[in-house]
């Protein structure tokens, strides 16, 4: 009789949605699904020091984008370790989101109207500007307009390509899959400059301080958003809530200090206002 009662209790429990589970997220939501799966899958860059970078020795992904991805994993699953990073180069971002290869993309991903037709963006969590990285001995390039007649390396599927085409139509563009590919090209003289977001260039400069110079004349403003599936506004709204919380509770500043902040650059122009 006691056994029967116990069985009945289990059956009643299973019939009641969520009984016995510790899933605090709305049923059927992406958040609930990730919580159940126990791991967050994030598309990020692997070759951009300070933003998304795969440590060649330990394999850990470091950088600001990686740090905020870990904060999301912690909120969703209880531990920042429950995360899997998938390398996502610029031109793959929309595909990886819409095909469900990743739960979200956090990859120096600028919010633009054209992309917002394909994916849903969160509010900006970071602001960058486009700039130039040149060889240290080259004194001829001091502004974007100096690129006319020069060869410039940048990445496929980036806003950097579009802005260069508009601003310096007489520059020759060397368009590659990832910014790290531009580094040897600049070193060996095949290109005269690398142009993309200042944050990315800062990371490349940090790796080669004796060889390169950052021009420090930013042009254009790049608001970074996290990208999720176009129809998943519930997940997007949840992420917006997290961004607002981090800006208020000091987590944003901590992530900055531990990553980009080590370069000595302050967050004044890149930090969104506290909501």
CA dist 21 and 263 (Å) reads 44
197 binds ligand GLU (CB under 6 A): yes
- Residue 90 CB, shortest distance to ligand GLU, in Å, is 4
Residues 217-236 that bind ligand GLU (CB under 6 A): 222
If DSSP codes are grouped into helix, strand and coil, which group holds residue 135?
Answer: strand
Cβ distance 224 to 128 under 8 Å?
A: yes
- Binding range to ligand GLU, per CB under 6 A, among 21-29, 133-141, 155-163, 245-253: 155-163
- Residue 108 CB, shortest distance to ligand GLU, in Å, is 4
Q: What share of the chain is helix, strand, coil (3-state, %, to 5)?
A: 40, 20, 40
- Residue 162 CB, shortest distance to ligand GLU, in Å, is 8
Among 30, 196, 240, 270, binds ligand GLU (CB under 6 A): 196
119 binds ligand GLU (CB under 6 A): no
Cβ distance 154 to 196 under 8 Å?
A: yes
- Binding range to ligand GLU, per CB under 6 A, among 22-30, 56-64, 69-77, 152-160: 152-160
CA dist 112 and 98 (Å) reads 17
Given the complex with ligand GLU, which of 75 and 198 has the nearer CB atom?
198
Q: Which helix (H) or strand (E) holds 157?
A: none
Q: Which helix (H) or strand (E) holds 41?
A: strand 40-44
198 binds ligand GLU (CB under 6 A): no
CA dist 21 and 24 (Å) reads 9
CA dist 143 and 245 (Å) reads 38
Site string for ligand GLU, 59-98 (x = CB under 6 A): -------------------------------x--------
- Binding range to ligand GLU, per CB under 6 A, among 36-44, 101-109, 132-140, 248-256: 101-109
Among 77, 122, 160, 259, binds ligand GLU (CB under 6 A): 160
44 binds ligand GLU (CB under 6 A): no
What is the four-CA torsion angle of 33, 39, 41, 44, rounded to 10 degrees? 140
- Residue 197 CB, shortest distance to ligand GLU, in Å, is 5
Q: How crowded is residue 118: how many other Cβ atoms within 10 Å of its Cβ?
A: 14
CA dist 145 and 170 (Å) reads 10
Report CA 3 to chain centroid distance, whole Å.
53
Number of chain positions touching ligand GLU (CB under 6 A): 13
Given the complex with ligand GLU, which of 153 and 200 has the nearer CB atom?
200
Given the complex with ligand GLU, which of 119 and 242 has the nearer CB atom?
119
110 binds ligand GLU (CB under 6 A): yes
Least Cα distance to 104 among 118, 124, 119, 89 occurs for 119
Q: Which residues bind ligand GLU (CB under 6 A)?
A: 90, 107-110, 155, 158-160, 196-197, 200, 222
């Amino acid at each position: 009789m006691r056994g029967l009662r116990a069985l009945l209790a289990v059956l009643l429990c299973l019939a009641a949605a969520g009984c016995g589970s510790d899933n605090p997220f709305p049923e059927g939501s992406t958040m609930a699904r990730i919580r159940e799966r126990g791991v967050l899958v994030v598309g990020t860059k692997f070759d951009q020091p300070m933003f998304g970078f795969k440590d060649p020795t330990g394999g850990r992904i470091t950088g600001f984008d990686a740090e905020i991805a870990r904060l999301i994993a912690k909120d969703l699953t209880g531990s920042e370790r429950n995360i899997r990073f998938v390398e996502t180069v610029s031109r793959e971002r929309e595909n990886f989101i819409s095909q469900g290869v990743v739960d979200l993309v956090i990859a120096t991903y600028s919010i633009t109207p054209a992309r917002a037709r394909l994916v849903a963006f969160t509010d900006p969590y970071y602001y960058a500007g486009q700039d130039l990285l040149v060889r240290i001995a080259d004194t001829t390039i001091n502004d974007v307009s100096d690129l006319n007649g020069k060869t410039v390396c940048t990445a496929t599927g980036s806003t950097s390509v579009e802005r260069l085409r508009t601003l310096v139509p007489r520059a020759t563009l060397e368009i590659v899959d990832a910014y790290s590919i531009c580094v040897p090209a600049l070193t060996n003289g095949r290109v005269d400059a690398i142009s993309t977001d200042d944050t990315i260039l800062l990371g490349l400069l940090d790796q080669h301080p004796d060889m390169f110079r950052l021009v420090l004349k930013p042009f254009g403003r790049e608001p970074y958003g996290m990208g999720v599936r176009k129809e998943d506004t519930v997940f997007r709204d949840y992420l917006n809530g997290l961004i607002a919380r981090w800006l208020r509770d000091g987590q944003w500043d901590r992530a900055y200090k531990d990553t980009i902040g080590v370069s000595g650059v302050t967050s004044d122009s890149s930090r969104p206002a506290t909501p």
